[in-house]
């Protein structure tokens, strides 16, 4: 995909990705950046996939209960329809979005919009998750946040599933996942 460069005095956009494991503070960091943009009098809009209803159907909510109003969407292309006049777009749980999300983010950045996407970079099996790997490859700025391993206290960047559920997508929190370091992740239940 070729995107024409900006010319003249057009506003420059970019793509930021905040990624990491469960309980690493991804959503917390997204909310912090969006609130700062709002304080700077930027026009901000936040989106999340409709599948994420763990804490709220409409709000983006961190595990620490911080929240910000959002617009649930079925498909990433909907962002293009709803971002007119917006200067900063936030996207939470980006790993659950469709494969067109990187294209949408590129289009937004080309329009001069700052795009901040947050999501899991790996699923519970340690595999790259959804559109996040593609987003990482095109991002201008990447922040990888880490949790603390619940087994040994080291830095954790894996989301270990504690339930026997095998589907790739399982919305949950501490009842279904725990953050683990590489060593404890691969030890499995014996850790």
The residues that are catalytic are: 93
DSSP string across 91-149: ESSGGGS-TTHHHHHHHHHHTT-EEEEEEESB-TTS-B-TTHHHHHHH-SEEEEE-EE-
In three-state secondary structure terms, 39 is helix
Q: What is the largest CA-CA distance in the chain?
A: 60
User: Computed from CA positions of residues 127, 131, 136, 142, in that sequence, does the dihedral angle turn out positive or negative?
Assistant: negative
């Amino acid at each position: 995909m070729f995107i024409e460069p900006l010319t003249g005095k057009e506003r420059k956009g970019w793509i930021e990705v905040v990624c990491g494991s469960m309980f690493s503070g991804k959503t917390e960091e997204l909310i912090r950046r969006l609130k700062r943009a709002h304080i700077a009098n930027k026009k901000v809009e936040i989106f999340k996939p409709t599948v994420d209803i763990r804490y709220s159907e409409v709000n983006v909510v961190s595990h620490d209960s911080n929240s910000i109003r959002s617009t649930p969407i079925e498909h990433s292309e909907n962002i293009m329809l709803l971002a007119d006049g917006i200067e900063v777009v936030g996207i939470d749980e980006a790993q659950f979005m469709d494969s067109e999300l990187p294209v949408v983010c590129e289009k937004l950045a080309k329009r001069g919009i700052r795009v901040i996407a947050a999501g899991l970079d790996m699923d519970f099996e340690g595999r790259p998750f959804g559109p996040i790997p593609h987003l990482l490859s095109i991002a201008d700025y990447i922040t990888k946040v880490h949790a603390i391993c619940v087994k040994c206290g080291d830095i954790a960047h894996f989301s270990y599933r504690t339930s026997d559920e095998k589907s790739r997508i399982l919305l949950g929190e501490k009842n279904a996942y725990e953050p683990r370091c590489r060593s404890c992740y691969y030890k499995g239940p014996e850790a």
